[in-house]
Structure 1
């Protein structure tokens, strides 16, 4: 029997104080994985999350993972709840580790004590990703005995540290991940009152480019002119990556349009303000701003070996290295993009300089199937909960485990949701989550689980 949105809202409202308590108690645990993923504080965090999930019927436990070299890894939370062997199985994901707080003085409140100001809860992890844990907890609590799907959970303990033990852990616990639908509550909404499904994540490909022109440094007055320094040659090579309009011009590196169609473009004024773009700068590239941020590639020089200005002297630099981070379209294999970068840099050596590329990391992006049944159910649930239609959005960055999960479980339908919004300040001082938005997120997930149980 279908449960109405009105009934779900009433149940969530009745449970709201307990859901808020989960956020407060979890933030106070200071589960900073950068301070040691094997530490007692991370074990305590995992045990707490397992306990609250047992409160809502999940047979949950904290388990320590192992790194690829066999050493002790992160504390993870896994568990299951079977309602009907013939019903769909849904895997709920969030992570219980949080970012560090390098300087508490940059915060307006105590980062590890939740403080409510207006409609927002401030504290480290409130949105990333304690809010995700609260969504799963609240949705299962609201449904109770009316839950019509089987549940599996995985709450990770090292997402903020790169998930080194993620693949070994899945290999050890394969059956506990196998599911029909995966809900990843680690993203966010278009605005606190406008819901979203995250429809795509760009991949990445990183390489080092070595440029050499001399066997040793020489005097710039004696040889400057016919011999250009390695830094200038590298700059020439870097400049060739983009055309005069700022569009990436590396042959073989592909782009695409927003997955599921562009429902609303990114607001340029808001984007410029959030990034701190200087007034005189004209945004690079062409097409919608959304496509430039989500589904088209971008290349960024993230490191450059050059002598500092302080202490510089009159010599021609013989060689240098710069590092390029390519954000790859979710529609392209990152290894193909990497090969294109290697061919581009080595094939465009300025003045015949010696150019050699060392490939580093390559990670796959991800694109949601906008036409699958779970996507339609999620969109309907979000609209019922928020009262407005969801606006699909992409992310320019990567969440590596999502494409990894999709590769291991290719038949699973993956949905990416979450409690963040444009002013949440995840990873930054004064991180926060919208109280009203979080409540609607809980209602939306409960409605979604109910719909999936009736398919």
Structure 2
């Protein structure tokens, strides 16, 4: 197919593409504990049907120990052509507080070319980008294909890493496309060359056998919540820099958005400062970040006058590509134990960790992808980092050191992923689908081996 034929095929297929995405976003496939498993399995079944309808001859669900099934598909390579692995995930983050959503999170709504709904961007756009790009070839693919769509990336995604290590031949490929990232802004094409790793844990502080009356005991009885707050605030200095020994800042060889653009995207309120030192690119893509993502304490509306006996927090650490996630866990938990006041009892649990990733540019797959992005977007792409973590990527890099790993996608920094009112610009999706189809067609002309 010529580039013009590919572009027409993608354009003609967009109505079906949008409908497919709506069907997928309507399924609340939250693979977190405490949520129904049925919708997750429903999403897996729909992905299986979509890949089969895209012309892939071999499609099946693969059990993943301790997790939800991955959907796997493959097609043989034409004579002398390389093989490409395509990755995305069909599970989504929980919706959170429904009162903060302007439209129901699992009722996909399209307004002015923008689809609103949980998972519309992260990462059901990636699933549909693969499906639509493959559909453009009508079953006559220019490369060998392997597709794996994960079912529990958002929670404990490291379980697929173990599967990859145990089944290397299943996923072996010359190039691997990870469609779970995006561009800094809509219409601003980028290839991600650096991913932060991630680690997380729960910390619990206990001080009393049970909560006691604040009037009778307050002022002498140690408050678990106050102790935990002192510990958590000690993680950063007055400028917001991480102050845990061993978690040193890094430098990224590129530029992020300007401060004002970043403030607008993040919704930083007027008069509130950004935190940390160094460039935005350094802080976002090459340095450690620690965030308290949850607290188990009495709510304001349900509060009683009591000194708290126990308090818990969920803490997330973002790890630069050069860092070690498990070492960072050790550093942060040891620091919290050291700064704990009053001899309080501290315990840790529910550990999660995943490594970061740094790409080596300049290979034939990267070059083909850059040319495809430039044609689809009308401007040359730039190389960026991503603060988010994709546990599978580092595992693939370790397992297949000769394979080129490419990261791009239809998300953008304003897509509100993991937040209320997640959204996807459908023109951006079309450009990414076009990119992927153009890439596969050009890369199919390169004959090599991993």
Same fold, judged at TM 0.5 (above): yes
Q: Give the corresponding residue for 1:262.
A: 254
Query: What does residue 48 of structure 2 align with?
Result: 50
Question: Equivalent residue for 1:134?
Answer: 128
- Give 1:250 shift: 2.1
Measure how far apart 1:442 and its partner are.
Answer: 1.0
Instruction: Tell me which residue corresponds to 1:330.
Output: 321
CA contact (8 A) 1:85 1:150 kept: no
1:368-383 to structure 2, matched below 5 A, reads: 368-383=359-374
1:16 corresponds to 2:14 = yes
Within 5 Å, give how 1:211-226 maps onto structure 2. Answer: none
Are 2:27 and 1:36 aligned? no
Query: How far did 1:127 drift?
Result: 2.1
Matches within 5 A, 1:224-373: 237-258=231-252, 261-263=253-255, 265-302=256-293, 310-312=303-305, 324-347=315-338, 353=343, 358=348, 360-373=351-364
Match of residue 119, structure 2, among 116, 122, 125: 125
Aligned to 2:144: 150
Q: Report the Cα distance in structure 1 between the residues aligned to 2:296 and 2:424, rounded to whole angstroms.
A: 40
User: How many positions carry a matched residue from both structures?
Assistant: 440
Q: C-alpha separation between the residues in 1 aligned to 2:25 and 2:440?
A: 26
Q: Secondary structure at the match of 2:278?
A: coil
Is residue 419 of structure 1 aligned with residue 410 of structure 2?
yes
Computing the radius of gyration from Cα coordinates, the structure with the larger value is 1
In structure 2, the partner of 1:395 is 386
Alpha-carbon distance between aligned partners in 2 of 1:115 and 1:240, rounded to the nearest angstrom: 43
1:146-192 residue CA offsets vs partner (Å, 9 max, x unmatched)? 63321001112333443475246446754321212111112222222
Query: Structure 1 residues 28 and 284, CA, compared in 2 at 3 Å: closer, same or farther?
Result: closer
Indicate if the aligned counterparts of 2:165 and 2:399 stay in contact, CA closer than 8 A: no
Give the TM-score of the pair, scaled to structure 2.
Answer: 0.81
Contact 2:168 2:399 in 1 (8 A): no
| Structure 2: segments with no counterpart, 5+ residues | none
* Structure-1-length-normalised TM-score: 0.80
Any idea what SS the aligned residue of 1:330 has? Answer: coil
Say whether 1:191 aligns with 2:185: yes
Could you tell me how far 1:81 is from its partner in structure 2?
A: 0.7
Structure 1 SS opposite 2:190: coil
Secondary structure of 1:23's match?
helix
Q: Could you tell me how far apart the structure 2 residues matched to 1:124 and 1:398 are?
A: 18
Q: Please report how far the alpha carbon of residue 76 of structure 1 lies from its aligned counterpart in structure 2 after TM superposition.
A: 2.7
Q: Is the 8 A contact 1:212 1:319 kept in 2?
A: yes
Check the 8 A contact 1:211/1:230 in 2, yes or no. Answer: yes
Gaps of 5+ in 1: none
RMSD: 3.8
Per-residue deviation at 1:280?
3.0
Matches of 2:165 and 2:415 in 1, distance apart?
Answer: 34
**Structure 1 residues 101-135: Cα deviation after superposition (integer angstroms, max 9, x where no partner):** 56777655565554432222334433233321221
In structure 2, the CA distance between the partners of 1:203 and 1:223, relative to structure 1 (3 Å rule), is same
CA shift for structure 1 position 15: 2.9
CA distance in 2 between partners of 1:98 and 1:239 (Å): 30
**For the residues of structure 1 that align with 2:238 and 2:309, how far apart are their CA atoms?**
29
